[in-house]
Amino acid sequence: MSRLLIGLRIWWIFVVFIVIVLLVLFSANYLGVRPTVAGSGVEGIDLPSGFVIDVYADDLGSTLLSFGGPSPGPRMMMIKDGLLFVSIPNKGLVAILPDRDGDNVADEVQVFISDLDYPHGIDYYDGWFYIAEESRVIRVRDDDGDLVADDESLEVIIDKLPTGGHYTRTVKIHDGELYLSVGSSCNVCYESNEMRAAISKSDLDGSNLTVFAKGLRNSVGLAFHPVTGELYATENGRDWLGDDLPPDEVNLITEGGDYGWPTCYGQNIYDTDFNNSEYTGDPCNDTGKIPSFVDLQAHSAPLGLTFYDGETFPQEYQDDLFVCFHGSWNRQDPTGYKVVSIDMDTREVSDFATGWLGAATISGRPVDVIVADDGSLLVSDDNAGKIYRIYYAG
């Protein structure tokens, strides 16, 4: 090989190296991404006085960077007959994490069902396990009780869901009806498919599928109030309006409601960056758009949420709404990476579990939160591949 060719090869290797370094620096300094640090995942986690956090399950899949594609670790959870079920999208499966000896640590990871298309939302009703994949919703049974889905029972109840863009699909069963959330195909745009950026409702067999509420860019978390039965949902706002706009949201979802995206956000603020048409009136308030129930810090990425209806937390937390902040990418100074509580009377947002975001590192990204049978909270973390247990010991 001539010296010229050798020189050119060395030059291109040098250029590629510089590009990689610049990309890493850009990610670290603008996109808010930091290396994952080693450890059990609970070092440095701050909680209110009297609360304790432990690791319930580990080694469920992790990655250095977990944005822009199917999440590597555990996502949405549910409890059925004392067993914890959790979806792991990029492994294409739903797992069961039993604690047979009662030591509050999962004994094993058992596959309930596999070979799925990025499974995300899961729920149970009347003998059926409902699973929302990216392109469809299925339901399966486990009539023999072996904790493995019966292959012959699988039914595709909603098919040909729109794919691409936000890939997560969340499913909830309430009062004998199925609710399904599908995120947008884009950052900000007008959708051609009415199921996108919306929550739909159907019968339990998938029939009579209709749009329940729209204008919801990406409502990953759905929760029904245990007393009123009202539906609440998190909302991930659009990107590229700066570090502090638009706010992320928690919304009180009503049938037929329009929550504004892509033209409005937060308390019915008009997004002139997207649509700068001139109006004589107010294009958000005059058209009946529904404002957010609670505004959250922009780019926090609120995902799973649950109402605390256990019996072991102090009275001040009863009926509070707990929300997981997955964390930012479209922000110069990272934010999120924590669990907050929301007082439903005052709508005040308070930090509950913090510390996954350090000065130069990210050790975890909370996704979903549910109340366990013993009154503790279980929190999934798709970046560290863990599920945490938070309990009150004060």
Residue 2 CB partners (closer than 8 Å, separation 6+): none
SS3 assignment, position 151: helix
DSSP 330-347: SSSS----EEEEE-TTT-
301-315 tens-digit pLDDT: 999 999 999 999 999
- Rounded CA gap, 147 and 295, in Å? 41
**Which portions of the chain are predicted below pLDDT 70?**
1-41, 62-71
* Residue-level pLDDT at 41: 67
Identify whether the C-beta of residue 219 lies closer than 8 Å to the C-beta of residue 213: no
Q: What domains are defined for the chain? A: 31-392 (2.120.10.30)
* Type of residue found at 362: I
- Rounded CA gap, 367 and 369, in Å? 7
Closest to 273 in 3D by CA, of 197, 188, 215: 188
* Residue-level pLDDT at 164: 94
Sign of CA dihedral 57, 58, 60, 64: positive
* Type of residue found at 221: G
206-250 tens-digit pLDDT: 999 999 999 999 999 999 999 999 999 999 999 999 999 999 999
Structure tokens at 347: 């709508």
Specify the DSSP class assigned to residue 226. T
Query: pTM here?
Result: 0.90
* Residue-level pLDDT at 277: 82
Structure tokens at 145: 């009780």
Closest to 261 in 3D by CA, of 285, 284, 279: 284
